[in-house]
Amino acid sequence: MRQEWVRYWPWVLLTLVLLVYANSLGGSFQYDDGHSIVRNPSIRGLSSIPTYFVDASAFSGDSEKRMYRPLLLVSYALNHMAGDFNVVGYHMVNVLLHLACCYLVWRLAMRFSPGRESAACVAAAIFALHPVASEPVNYISSRSETLMAAFFLLTVFLHLHRPGTIHWGARVCFAMALLSKETAIVLVVVLPLVDLWLPQSGSQMSTRQLARRHGPYWAMAGIYLLVLMWTGFLGGGGEPLRDGGAQFMTQAKALVYYLRLLVLPIELNVDHPLQVSPRLTPVVVLAATLLLTIGLMVLRGRRVSPQLTLMLLFSVLVVLPTSVVPLNILANERRVYLVLASMCIGLPALLGFRSKPVNVALLVVLAAFTIQRNQVWATPLSLWQSALAGGAHSYTAYVNLGKAQQDIGDVTGAAVSYGQALEIDRRRADAYNNLAVLFHEAGRVTEAIPYYEAAVERAPEMEEIHHNLAVAHQDLGDLDAATRTFRRALELSREDGGLWSNYGQLLLAADDPVGAEAAFHEAIRLLGLRPEPYNGLGNALSDQGRIQDAINAYRRGLAANPDRSQRAVILTNLGESLMRSRQVDEAREVLRTSLTLSPSAVAHDYLGRLAFSTSDTLDAMRHWQSALDIDPRRRVPLTGLGEIAIIRGDLERAATLFRRAIDNGAGDRARAGLRRVEAQMMAGRAGK
């Protein structure tokens, strides 16, 4: 590559990243995106941003999933403000963050290997196209990794900008990296290494200069750790997932596993089939030996290639926190995103990349693998099918495949997947809960309840399961059991707006409109401007006879941009309240609009009443008959048609309609109509 073309390399990187990730933009929300983005009320308004910095529970819609990553939440909130839950915007931000990291890798590779600009360009292109980066780019919840990496690399770049002096931009970027993801704290070790390892930097600094240069980083790291403890994210206690020996042996394997993925990225998987090693095995010994050999090479190679050995140390330090702390997930690709960056920064010091055909072939192969991997990440179904095809045989993989099958309506496939998950582990609750939801949604509520109860037994502190069980009891008409279960769910989580909204619906069914009103107000406080709680509030106010307040609530619900079916329901309820407030013309218009959105027996019923009240019996008959075509058991249309039949002199039909209404639970009006018809019929027979 000719030297003058180097300046244009950022545009080449831009083109490469946009081309290779173009097919990722239509991907869906995946896995943890559900609780951290889709169901997270804290990201739905910029007014919540201050709470991100003081409340670790703002990270998720599930209160037990706490993380202190406020800058990540700010990025989600800005995405939501710009495009609600339009997933393209979220993916675009992830792609742009990866592009920023590519640029910084290029600049740092040039900085660490002066005179090897061409090799630095190829190394940055390798980072841009490497398939290992496909997980943090495609998986929106992995934005914490790319966001942290961008500020991490920028901190190093600015720190090196003026050796021996203080660069306040580097301090700011260090703080931003910490606020993106906690693993950025390793910078307090990386930066002194940068100054001490490279001959041109640390050899000319005194101890006092080093302390002055790095003291602010250490102070910021200390403050950050105190904030983590204050917010409850750090120091929560509890039993570790595995003992230190098992953790060391497992992660020794994992580090070698990561190295293989970076060198030969052909077995990528969202659920890597890595197993815990509770005892010393030949594989663990080989892995530890390999790591020790690499460590000795780093120490001995410092004089020969300090840049390369520094980047190897950099890689070890970056992956160290997740190797030392026992985590549920033993290995994933996003943990080595910054490792890949550091290796690409060091590559020009080792390799010249002089063969253009080889360079092009390598980049084409990497791009092809990444494009294919983007397709795997396109949907939850393709992701988890690929995981199982790639060797994952875990409870998690089968449960998530079941969820994906359930979402596309493959009930049989989902039931099989959940059953396979339970064969692996019957101690966990979510497969039982998901099976229960499967039966519940299919209308088999009686079969669902034992599975809900099994899930509650295994996870008694999970509000979601109590919530689902309460709705099931309500659907079966057992309002007492539903009330008890809703109250237990509210004891576990009083900050779930959806729970309050459903509890309000239960109280309405239990003829407690005052309690329902309070529940819907709580739901509105937590959910903001959403159609469901405002519609419920309108119903509660209507039941109390506060018609104008109900009308206002329904109109707020309509302003919340409900979907087509929700809008039809709210318009029908609004039309009924307008009828009761004698705003007849507006009520008629609202109800007709409702019918254009969705056929509704209730809307036809109300329009029939309006027509009958103005003596338009033909229009009343038309609407009431349409209501009965949709729901043959509706009492008001049966009663109204009976009264019209009396007017028309068809007493036999009137009697039949009144009897049907009474059989379906109609009250005094239908009974009075039947008595009147029977009296007229008796009088007619007597007159004969």
Give the three-class secondary structure for 583.
Answer: coil
- Residues of the chain falling short of pLDDT 50: 1-2, 202
Structural domains counted in the chain: 1
Confidence (pLDDT) at 87:
93
State the number of CA atoms in the 13 A half-sphere of 612 facing the CB: 21
Q: What tens digit of pLDDT does each residue of 487-530 get?
A: 999 998 888 888 999 999 999 999 999 999 999 999 999 888 88
Residue 315 lies in a domain: yes
What 3-state DSSP class applies to 416?
Answer: helix
Instruction: Give a yes or no: residue 294 inside a domain.
Output: yes
Strands (E) across 513-584 are located at none
In the prediction, which pLDDT does 559 show?
A: 93
**pLDDT of res. 162:** 67
pTM: 0.79
Question: What per-residue confidence (pLDDT) applies to 139?
Answer: 94
Q: How many CB atoms lie within 10 A of CB 498?
A: 18
Give the pLDDT of residue 318: 82
Q: How far apart are CA 584 and CA 632, in angstroms?
A: 26
478: in domain: no
Confirm whether 91 is domain-assigned: yes
Neighbours of 494 (CB within 10 A): 13
Which whole-number Å values give the CA distances from 245 to 241, 279, 470, in the listed order?
A: 12, 8, 44
Supply the pLDDT for residue 163. 61
Residue 92 lies in a domain: yes
47 belongs to a structural domain: no
Conformation bin of residue 90: beta by default, left when phi > 0, alpha when psi is -120 to 50: alpha
Q: Which residues of 104-132 are buried (b: 16+ CB within 10 A; e: fewer)?
A: bbbbbbbebbeebbbbbbbbbbbbbbbbb
pLDDT of residue 483: 95
Alpha-carbon distance of 78 to 34, in angstroms, equals 17
> Which long-range contacts (C-beta less than 8 Å, at least 24 apart) are formed by 421-424?
421/395, 424/393, 424/394, 424/395, 424/398
Residue 181 falls within a domain, yes or no?
A: yes
Q: Which amino acid is at 557?
A: G
The candidate with the shortest Cα–Cα distance to 57, out of 65, 69, 49, is: 65
Structural domain containing residue 206:
3-29+85-371
Residue 667 within a domain:
no
Helices (H), 325-376: 337-350, 356-376
Which pairs from 43-52 meet CB under 8 Å and 24+ separation?
43/73, 43/76, 43/77, 43/79, 43/80, 44/77, 44/80, 44/528, 45/77, 45/81, 45/528, 46/77, 46/78, 46/81, 48/77, 49/73, 49/74, 49/77
Distance CA 664, CA 662 (A): 5
The conformation of residue 36, written as its DSSP 8-state character, comes to I
